[in-house]
Amino acid sequence: MSKARLAVVGFVAALGGGCTSQPIAPSVEDMQRVLDEAYASARPQYKQRAVQDESQVLCSKQAAGQQLNGAEVQKVIESARASIKYPASGKLMGDWRVGEKLALDGYGMRLLPGGRGDVAPNRPNGANCYACHQLNPNEVNAGNLGVSLTGFGVTRGNTPDVQKYVYEKVYNAWAFFPCSNMPRLGANGYLTPEQVAHVVAFVLDPESPVNKR
């Protein structure tokens, strides 16, 4: 378990008082302080990843049971839309075979030993789509936190409008569903625009196993 996670667990346990019937939930500010202390020696670019952006602050309010007002929801959507970048080629569908490998790959953001929060640079991140979605109907190792995407290209087609929708949804789902649990894969730099385009191809290409009848 990482130092940050141990620190958070210990902090929550301390606030809960061990045997109290109604443990006190730590505030966002308290949790931020714990993370800052856990990564005190990390490089600035990695410490910044533990700082919530404006949209995350708003979504944390919603997660704590506070209903966002219309203006706050719109702010999350506008920020998400502004974050979306497209491949230099302009093509929103790449190679479905590469997308298939990305969908199966859960590798990413592995920290190197030493306590500085340095990320292992030895290979690209994966998309890990199967953690939440069924895609290839023959792949049994799939999660069900998200909707099934099997046959998505068959039912929706792969017109430019559909490509754009799927690309933007993968890049930053909050542009459509503010504060959803789907990771903002492109917006946070986890996947490159080109990688996102490959995932789009895996979902939409008629030759992809996702769309084979």
Q: How many CB atoms lie within 10 A of CB 150?
A: 21
Q: Do 203 and 123 reside in the same domain of the chain?
A: yes
Cβ atoms of 46 and 39 within 8 Å: the answer is yes
Q: Do 113 and 41 reside in the same domain of the chain?
A: no
The residue to which tokens 């490509």 are assigned: 163
Task: Of 25-34, 122-131, 158-167, give the lowest mean pLDDT range.
Answer: 25-34
Q: Do 59 and 115 reside in the same domain of the chain?
A: no
- Give the distance from CA 33 to its chain's centroid: 23
90 lies in some domain = no
Token pair for residue 20?
């109290």
86 lies in some domain = no
Q: Do 41 and 146 reside in the same domain of the chain?
A: no
Contacts of 198 (CB under 8 A, 6+ apart): 94, 95, 96, 98, 99, 102
For the full predicted model, state whether its pTM sits above 0.85.
no
Confidence tier at 34 by pLDDT (50, 70, 90)? confident
Cβ atoms of 171 and 63 within 8 Å: the answer is no
Q: Do 68 and 102 reside in the same domain of the chain?
A: no
The residue to which tokens 């959507």 are assigned: 77
119 DSSP 8-state letter: B
Q: Do 71 and 145 reside in the same domain of the chain?
A: no
Q: What is the 3-state secondary structure (H, E, C) of 129-193?
A: HHHCCCCCCCCCCCCCCCCCCCCHHHHHCCCHHHHHHHHHHHHCHHHCCCCCCCCCCCCCCCCCH
* Alpha carbons 93 and 113: distance in angstroms, whole number: 37
Confidence tier at 22 by pLDDT (50, 70, 90)? low
Cβ atoms of 50 and 34 within 8 Å: the answer is no
Q: Pick the residue with more confidence: 46 or 74?
A: 74
Q: Do 107 and 185 reside in the same domain of the chain?
A: yes
Q: Do 51 and 127 reside in the same domain of the chain?
A: no
Q: Do 168 and 104 reside in the same domain of the chain?
A: yes
**Domain assignment of residue 69, given as a range:** 3-80
Q: Do 109 and 174 reside in the same domain of the chain?
A: yes
85 lies in some domain = no
Look at the chain and report how many structural domains it folds into: 2
